[in-house]
Amino acid sequence: MNFQKREGSRFKVFEEEEKSHLHPLPLTRFKMTEWATAKVQPNYHVQVDYKFYSVPYEYVREDVDVRITADVIELYFKDVRIASHPRKKKSEDPYATNPDHMPDHHRLYLDHNPENNRKWARNIGPNMERLVEHILKTNVEKKALNILNGLRSTASKRTDTELEAASKTLLEISSHPTVAVLKSILERQKKKQADKQLVREPQKEDYGFTRGATYFGRDKK
């Protein structure tokens, strides 16, 4: 379309004067952002819209800044970002917890669950796996995990080979295997191995001379 009071067209003016000033659109869509301040709770989480997001436990009881978008929650302490989580939907579990934010004793509790115990046993061998599965099936979960905690404490002092052999023996001799009996089997294994080692050691001679009569009489004619 041509101008009425100047030469040329609107398109020509755009091409010659305005186009070079334009910039490409950003690669990501603009996100509406809201900021808030919150105090980190004793359980190292911050509440945002009835959901709870973890920060490193060292920041318990500190005030943090919260950046809120439609899909991300970011948490800052003194202008440094200390945590970031996908924003929880209303239908989702209220807690977003990063295990790295947990103190060691909480992380240990988190790891101590039936499936992780099964994986641990599987890495040792099929007999240990059968033993752990038996403990999980014949006890309520809390009691089973306490028993397995004792089992893993005992296992930390033994090799996988020793544990697998002891588990095999235990399952063969008992329909109600216990950690106490497993410990007893391990101790017997240890003693038996020590006895074998003792037998294999050469016996030392107590004599002052080990040369025979032929040696001492060799110069006689």
Find the radius of gyration of the CA atoms of the chain.
37
pLDDT tens digits for 195-206?
776 666 555 554
What is the reported pLDDT for 19?
72
Res. 104 pLDDT band, cuts 50 70 90: confident
The domains of the chain are located at: 8-99, 112-198
pLDDT at residue 221 is higher than 60: no
Residue 204: per-residue pLDDT: 52
User: Between residues 77 and 9, which one has the greater pLDDT?
Assistant: 77
44-95: pLDDT as tens digits: 999 999 999 999 999 999 999 999 999 999 999 999 999 999 999 999 999 9
- Per-residue model confidence (pLDDT) at position 43: 92
Distance CA 135, CA 139 (A): 6
CA–CA separation, 185 and 120 (whole Å): 20
Structure confidence at residue 7 (pLDDT): 61
Average pLDDT of the chain?
85
Contacts with 183 (C-beta within 8 Å, 6 or more apart), sequence order:
154
